[in-house]
């Protein structure tokens, strides 16, 4: 979630390290939110510029983007207030304050953080469905997604209890499987998406297409595969889990980074969809067809106006 501490009394050195890591987390959160704001603005702007104002696909993407923006903004504002109290108003040392989870502000921050993760995971899972269709290979990431929702709900119950701290066994016992299930969902979806797109790239090459035709399939480039698969989120989460499980102060900046990336990753995909470069639903049926389908939202985007 945010921060944690060992159960024993901290030394001066460990307290200073934890405070520095918490401060670094605040800086990373600001940078991450700034990057996200730019991407969200571009998405909303391009989706609003479509000619067909109430086209169902565009409306759904716009609603999802706005929902992500609201969640991320609430989390950022709550995090800013948390940092202000931690470093300015708190009567205790920052490490001890950082471990306290039962305040209303902390519960709000952690609840929005968890919901943001669930929403982002659901979108990545949806993209895997778009690329693979109704395949049984999606069963496992779907189950891990529901597992992350269940463990995340249990974690929120634990951290909202009076005197709760992230060093408590009950919190760690729910937090570790929550992140494990969430990361499993993303890693599995990432592998499935990246593998499918990489196969498409290889198939296009084997089909003897021209280099110009190859480049026109924007969803098969290395950068496109990275963006479509939300690999940025999966990599960050894989680094964060062991830090959280071992209760190391280095988890603080990675927690802040993960909170930002959870919104940045799906927003990058939506931005590609608005530009007409992302894979759409009938892609899996046309894997070897020269005109592999990509999604465009609205007629003005088709004309290159966005």
Position 67 scores a pLDDT of 92
Position 148 scores a pLDDT of 92
Contacts 24+ apart (CB under 8 A), 78-81: 78/105, 78/108, 78/109, 78/112, 79/2, 79/26, 79/29, 79/109, 79/256, 79/259, 80/26, 80/29, 81/105
Could you tell me if 82 and 37 are in contact, meaning their C-beta atoms sit under 8 angstroms apart?
no
Position 147 scores a pLDDT of 93
Position 173 scores a pLDDT of 76
Tell me the C-alpha to C-alpha distance, in Å, between residue 120 and each of 1, 135, 228.
15, 21, 13
Could you tell me if 24 and 255 are in contact, meaning their C-beta atoms sit under 8 angstroms apart?
no
Q: Which residue has the tokens 């899972």?
A: 125
Distance CA 200, CA 259 (A): 32
Q: Which residue has the tokens 């797109």?
A: 197
Q: How confident is the model at residue 96 (pLDDT cuts 50, 70, 90)?
A: low
Q: What residues pair up with 165 in beta bridges, in sequence order? A: 100
Is the whole-model pTM more than 0.85? no
Distance CA 229, CA 221 (A): 12
Could you tell me if 85 and 37 are in contact, meaning their C-beta atoms sit under 8 angstroms apart?
no
Q: How confident is the model at residue 90 (pLDDT cuts 50, 70, 90)?
A: low
Biggest CA–CA distance in the chain, Å, is 69
Average pLDDT over residues 258-270: 87
- Transcribe 49-105 into DSSP letters: T-SSTT-HHHHHHHHHHHHHHHHHHHHHHHHHHHHHIIIII-SS-HHHHHTB--SHH
Residue 280: pLDDT above 50?
yes
Least confident of 56-65, 118-127, 223-232: 223-232
pLDDT, tens digit, for every residue of 223-259?
555 655 567 787 888 888 888 778 788 888 888 898 8
Residues 6+ apart with CB under 8 A from 52: 58, 298, 299
pLDDT, tens digit, for every residue of 33-55?
999 999 999 988 888 876 555 56
- Rounded mean pLDDT of the chain? 74
Phi/psi of residue 100, nearest 5 degrees: -85, 125
Which residue in 111, 90, 115 sits closest to 100, CA to CA? 90
The number of angstroms, rounded, from the C-alpha of 212 to the middle of its chain's C-alpha atoms is 33
């Amino acid at each position: 979630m945010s921060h944690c501490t060992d159960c024993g009394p901290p030394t001066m050195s460990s307290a200073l390290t934890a405070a520095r890591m918490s401060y670094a987390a605040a800086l990373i959160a600001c940078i991450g939110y700034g990057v996200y704001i730019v991407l969200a603005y571009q998405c909303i702007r391009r989706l609003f510029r479509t000619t067909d104002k109430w086209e169902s696909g565009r409306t759904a993407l716009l609603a999802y983007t706005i929902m992500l923006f609201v969640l991320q903004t609430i989390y950022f504002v709550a995090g800013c207030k948390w940092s202000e109290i931690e470093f300015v108003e708190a009567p205790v040392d920052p490490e001890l304050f950082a471990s306290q989870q039962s305040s209303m502000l902390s519960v709000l921050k952690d609840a929005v953080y968890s919901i943001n993760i669930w929403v982002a995971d659901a979108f990545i899972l949806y993209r895997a469905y778009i690329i693979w269709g109704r395949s049984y290979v999606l069963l496992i990431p779907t189950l891990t997604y529901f597992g992350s929702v269940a463990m995340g709900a249990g974690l929120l119950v634990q951290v909202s209890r009076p005197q709760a701290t992230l060093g408590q066994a009950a919190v760690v016992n729910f937090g570790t499987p929550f992140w494990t299930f969430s990361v499993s969902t993303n890693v599995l979806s990432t592998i499935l998406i990246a593998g499918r797109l990489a196969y498409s790239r290889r198939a296009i090459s084997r089909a003897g297409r021209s280099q110009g035709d190859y480049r026109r399939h924007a969803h098969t480039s290395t950068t496109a595969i990275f963006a479509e698969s939300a690999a940025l989120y999966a990599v960050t989460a894989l680094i964060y889990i062991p830090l959280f499980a071992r209760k190391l102060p280095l988890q603080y900046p990675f927690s802040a980074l993960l909170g930002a990336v959870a919104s940045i990753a799906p927003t990058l995909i939506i931005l590609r969809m608005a530009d007409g470069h992302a894979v759409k639903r009938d892609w899996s049926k046309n894997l070897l067809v020269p005109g592999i389908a990509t999604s465009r939202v609205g007629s003005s985007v088709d004309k290159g106006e966005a």
